[in-house]
Amino acid sequence: MNETPHSTIVSVTDDQGRSLPCYVEHQFEMNGVEYAVLLPVNIPVDLVTWFGDDESEDEDADLATDEQIDAVFETAKAVLAEQDLLLQRTALTLTVVGEIPELDEAIEALNEADSDEDEEELLCLANFYEGEQEYGLYVPIDPMLVLARINADARPELLTDEELDELEPLLPSIESLIAERLFKGLE
């Protein structure tokens, strides 16, 4: 991934006690509450389940549920270990530690392409089977931003669904501000 200088690393923790280390990209206040926009330190990964009938070429995919992740995590971890990547079960998402040279190329290609599509771009790391079910591990090309509330102890906390609903209309402007800062950091 393109490296930008980050000075502050914090961790957010989910209700199951899993943490996600993140860089603090931006902080802002709204209605007397301090918020932070965070960028995971490690590379977020989606575990996808593939389904469709074997005779047709039409296949659909869904993000794996927590139960599916629990069932295949060790297999997925072993598959990525073959590529010298470490799969981690973190808050909000799975993450990977290691070098993915193709990711830099995919980001560059996406930045050069004039795409008005709303489809999320993904980079396939690996596909594997657990029993009869096919799974895929994919890296979203767009950065995953995490919105967090800063508590009284100056620590970030994940937002409730109600807080996310309240802030959702602001997300596009926050994302463009972050993207602008990231691109300035690359120049």
pLDDT of residue 141: 85
> Domain check: are 66 and 135 in the same one?
yes
For 30, 108, 109, 110, 158, the CA distances from 116, given in Å and listed in that order, are 31, 16, 14, 11, 31
> Domain check: are 70 and 130 in the same one?
yes
pLDDT of residue 2: 35
> Domain check: are 75 and 157 in the same one?
no
> Domain check: are 57 and 122 in the same one?
yes
Judge whether 91 and 156 are in contact, CB under 8 Å: no
> Domain check: are 56 and 120 in the same one?
yes
Q: Does residue 2 belong to any structural domain of this protein? A: no
Q: Which pair of structure tokens corresponds to residue 96?
A: 């990977």
> Domain check: are 64 and 102 in the same one?
yes
pLDDT of residue 56: 46
Q: Does residue 1 belong to any structural domain of this protein? A: no
Task: Please state the length of the chain.
Answer: 187
Q: Does residue 72 belong to any structural domain of this protein? A: yes
User: Is 183 strand, coil or helix?
Assistant: helix
> Domain check: are 62 and 112 in the same one?
yes
> Domain check: are 133 and 180 in the same one?
no
> Domain check: are 31 and 69 in the same one?
no
> Domain check: are 49 and 135 in the same one?
yes
How far is the C-alpha of 41 from the C-alpha of 163, rounded, in Å?
A: 24
- Please count the structural domains in the chain: 2
Q: Does residue 167 belong to any structural domain of this protein? A: yes
Q: Does residue 173 belong to any structural domain of this protein? A: yes
Q: Does residue 118 belong to any structural domain of this protein? A: yes
Q: Does residue 102 belong to any structural domain of this protein? A: yes
How far is the C-alpha of 129 from the C-alpha of 7, rounded, in Å?
A: 40
pLDDT of residue 92: 95
Q: Whose CA is closest to 36, among 49, 48, 23?
A: 23
pLDDT of residue 3: 41
Q: Does residue 22 belong to any structural domain of this protein? A: yes
> Domain check: are 130 and 151 in the same one?
no
pLDDT of residue 112: 63
> Domain check: are 166 and 86 in the same one?
no
> The domain containing residue 85 runs over which residues?
43-140
The tens-digit pLDDT sequence of the chain (187 residues) is: 334 456 789 999 999 999 999 999 888 888 899 999 999 999 999 999 987 655 445 567 889 999 999 999 999 999 999 999 999 999 999 999 999 877 767 666 655 665 555 556 888 999 999 999 999 999 998 889 899 999 999 999 999 989 888 888 877 877 777 667 666 655 5
How far is the C-alpha of 1 from the C-alpha of 186, rounded, in Å?
A: 12
